[in-house]
Structure 1
Amino acid sequence: MSTRSRASSAVSGNNVFVTLQDIQKESLFSKVHKRRRNSSITVTAVPNTFNKNNVKNNEIQIVNWDNLDEWQQDNEFIYDGYVKETSSVMGCIKSLNILHNESVNIWSHLVPSVIYLALLIGFTDFILEKKLIQILGAGHHLMDAMDYVMINIFLVGAFLCLFCSSCYHCFKQHSESVSVLWSKADYMGIIILISTSIISLLYYGFHDHLFLCKLFTIITTIFGATCCVFVLNDKFNHKDWKIVRASFFVLFAASGLLPIFTGFFVFGIENSIKRVQLLYVFFEAICYIAGALIYGFKIPECYFKPGKFDYFFNSHQIFHLCCVAGSVFHFRAVIASFVYAKTGIHSNSVFIF
């Protein structure tokens, strides 16, 4: 029910409400009902202006850009499919059952977050430890407390990042204040993922040089804390800062290059590649950088007439998929680095998951 001539639609029970942008005559501001015989569907024409108090019983109204409040107007190249401010938690949750322009953003991170939560619960005990026994034989107890911490800390970071992102895209249409709150949680999730990603690889890359491991961990923590202060500033959430936001997180992630170059100097290039599985780290970096650039410059929707990518394949959705792919590459790198640190085996045949 989304065309340029329609400003909005709402679905509640058996009623369908339609708002027309081109209603000019004052007489049409009174409700006009047209009921189909032998049907329970009711079509109601209402004025172009929308009062959120008219939405009752958690009704959900899908509107286009022109009928949004200013605080909801984020990407001018996405024209239709917006969920109008609901002022209702249940209304936001019910929007999960309706296709709108945040649907892909919600589910593309909600599903992987559940998978990471499942891995957090059972991966190290039921998969990784058994794989080590297959490699080295029974009687070897190579999983110590720090191994559990370093592997699971990344899984915690990945879960929190993706889950907070999913919640933000689900509840952002509640109200401006709730949107800002979840936006900050979203950014905090990104910071946590970057921090835990770097720290988890640092431990295995410098497992025999603990001073360097501690040094770079402290540096990463300082960078992460600085980012937290920055993103909690309300000005950072404004739409005009989109490119700055993307660049900021790219730079923070790029700080992970410092320990890599240090590893080249200390261990040599070949040994460093084995220690932190640089091939997968490279793929991870490509995913994150490409996703951030696509998101920041609104590619591809900025090159087409607004409305072309309202529901599928817009920049934010591509960014989400790149983030998920990057996290998978990093998980692969962490596990392979763990195996190499414990066994000295560096081979594609040692594929844990």
Structure 2
Amino acid sequence: MLTVKLPQLLNIHQVPQVFRTDGIISGYRHPKSSALDCILSSFRMTNETLNIWTHFLPTWYFLWRFLVLSTSLDFCTDPYNWPLLLYLLVICLYPFTSSCAHTFSTMSPHACHFCYFLDYGALSLYSLGCAFTYSAYIMPDRWINSPLHLHFTQLATLNSFICTALSCYSRFLELEAPKLSKVLRTAAFVHPFIFDNVPLLYRLLFCWGDGCAWNAAIPLHFHHLFFAFLAGFLFASHLPERLAPGRFDYVGHSHQLFHVCAVLGTHFQLEAILVDMSSRKPWLTSHTPPATLLGTLGVVGAAVLGNLAIIGLFARILLWSPRATSILQSTASEGTKLKE
């Protein structure tokens, strides 16, 4: 019978710095794993296993929702549905990319950085997808056709570039200034989140009476914001593993909980968008011009190309910069002592 022997799991002192996570002491995969080892490791318990599955399984859930909605909505010829189409594509993309990043990040230090560069790019596109739906369906009535509304998606595209560039750059600071690296990476994702949600926060907190679009979507928006804030807190705090290093190595550490909260937040966000989209359609279609291919697919295409260019730039720096060499080789002597 064919058997596969996977490399033994390691502790934090046996892997190079680039693979280490604060508060996680054991369960690390070999830092020179093959692609097959990485795939097979998702079926054994490591400190990354639940990180992989908490985004891989939701990918299929969101894909299922996409397919179901495609049977009832006209995504081809009805411009009103195009922002939702873009949003559905990116909520399938970002968890899948994250799952792949966690799966293959231990092939090498280079692979670790490249995987997370792509992960950051997918999250940036998710923020842009949110901006499209918020501009089309969430904007308060009294803000429709305002300067902010008219330029909302263009500004969100710029934010996606900032998000990708800042988060990729933060990886170069992890060894010399880990706290600054964490601050920059957190800020990279908080910034587009706040921008995207300005219309919603105004609608929920400061808008009363006519023109505020109070409807059945409001409780769902509050649920989405609750899980989004909780996800941000977990990402930034490294709790609970920071309080008890080693106790949550395999189950219950902050990144797993962050994934779960992010997916739940996206679920409630999707449900709220669908309610607003349906209930506000008569008013919105009569007060706003229809979406155009240039304003939707054209903007998203430019955003994809721009984010890929930014990722390519940082990948080039990683490969050729003398400073990047020190990041890749830090504590490499520890890694070379590992038994193959």
Identity of aligned residues (%): 22
Counterpart of 1:71 in structure 2 is: 18
1:318 aligns with 2:257: yes
**What amino acid sits opposite 1:173 in the alignment?**
T
How does the TM-score come out when normalised to structure 1? 0.70
How does the TM-score come out when normalised to structure 2? 0.72
Q: How far does residue 235 in structure 1 lie from its aligned partner after superposition?
A: 3.9
Distance 1:270 1:285, change over 3 A: farther
Which structure ranks higher in relative contact order (CA pairs < 8 Å, sequence separation ≥ 6)?
A: 2
Of 138, 157, 165, the match for 1:221: 157
Counterpart contact for 1:274–1:340, Cα < 8 Å: no
Deviations 1:137-158 (A, max 9, x none): xxxx999522332112111111
Q: Secondary structure at the residue paired with 1:303?
A: coil
Counterpart contact for 2:113–2:171, Cα < 8 Å: no
Shifted more, 159-168 versus 61-70: the winner is 61-70
Counterpart of 2:108 in structure 1 is: 175
Counterpart contact for 1:88–1:174, Cα < 8 Å: yes
Q: How far does residue 118 in structure 1 lie from its aligned partner after superposition?
A: 2.8
1:104 aligns with 2:50: yes
> Take 2:50 and 2:80, find their aligned partners in 1: how far apart are those partners?
35
Counterpart contact for 2:138–2:273, Cα < 8 Å: no
**What amino acid sits opposite 1:324 in the alignment?**
V
**What amino acid sits opposite 1:73 in the alignment?**
R
Counterpart of 2:241 in structure 1 is: 301
Counterpart contact for 2:140–2:212, Cα < 8 Å: no
Distance 1:286 1:195, change over 3 A: same
**What amino acid sits opposite 2:12 in the alignment?**
W
Q: Secondary structure at the residue paired with 2:9?
A: strand
Bigger proportion of residues as strand: 1
> Take 2:214 and 2:13, find their aligned partners in 1: how far apart are those partners?
54
Q: Secondary structure at the residue paired with 2:24?
A: coil
> Take 2:216 and 2:172, find their aligned partners in 1: how far apart are those partners?
33
Bigger proportion of residues as helix: 2
Counterpart of 1:9 in structure 2 is: none
What is the correspondence of 1:1-353 to structure 2 with a 5 Å cutoff? 13=3, 59-75=6-22, 77-120=23-66, 122-126=67-71, 128-129=72-73, 145-206=78-139, 209-210=144-145, 212-233=148-169, 235=171, 238=174, 240=178, 241-260=181-200, 268=208, 271-274=211-214, 277-304=217-244, 306-342=245-281
> Take 1:277 and 1:164, find their aligned partners in 2: how far apart are those partners?
29
Q: How far does residue 101 in structure 1 lie from its aligned partner after superposition?
A: 0.8
Distance 1:204 1:237, change over 3 A: farther
Q: Secondary structure at the residue paired with 1:192?
A: helix
Counterpart contact for 2:140–2:203, Cα < 8 Å: no
> Take 1:283 and 1:264, find their aligned partners in 2: how far apart are those partners?
12
Deviations 1:179-203 (A, max 9, x none): 1001111111211112211221210
Q: How far does residue 295 in structure 1 lie from its aligned partner after superposition?
A: 2.0
Larger radius of gyration: 1
Unaligned runs of 5+ in 1: 1-11, 16-58, 130-140, 345-353
**What amino acid sits opposite 2:115 in the alignment?**
W
Q: How far does residue 259 in structure 1 lie from its aligned partner after superposition?
A: 2.5
Distance 1:237 1:151, change over 3 A: farther
Root-mean-square deviation (CA, aligned residues, Å) is 2.9
Q: Secondary structure at the residue paired with 1:254?
A: helix
Distance 1:276 1:255, change over 3 A: farther
**What amino acid sits opposite 2:122 in the alignment?**
G
> Take 1:142 and 1:96, find their aligned partners in 2: how far apart are those partners?
35
Counterpart contact for 1:294–1:318, Cα < 8 Å: yes
> Take 2:130 and 2:8, find their aligned partners in 1: how far apart are those partners?
39
Distance 1:264 1:169, change over 3 A: closer
Counterpart contact for 2:166–2:184, Cα < 8 Å: no
Q: Secondary structure at the residue paired with 2:8?
A: strand
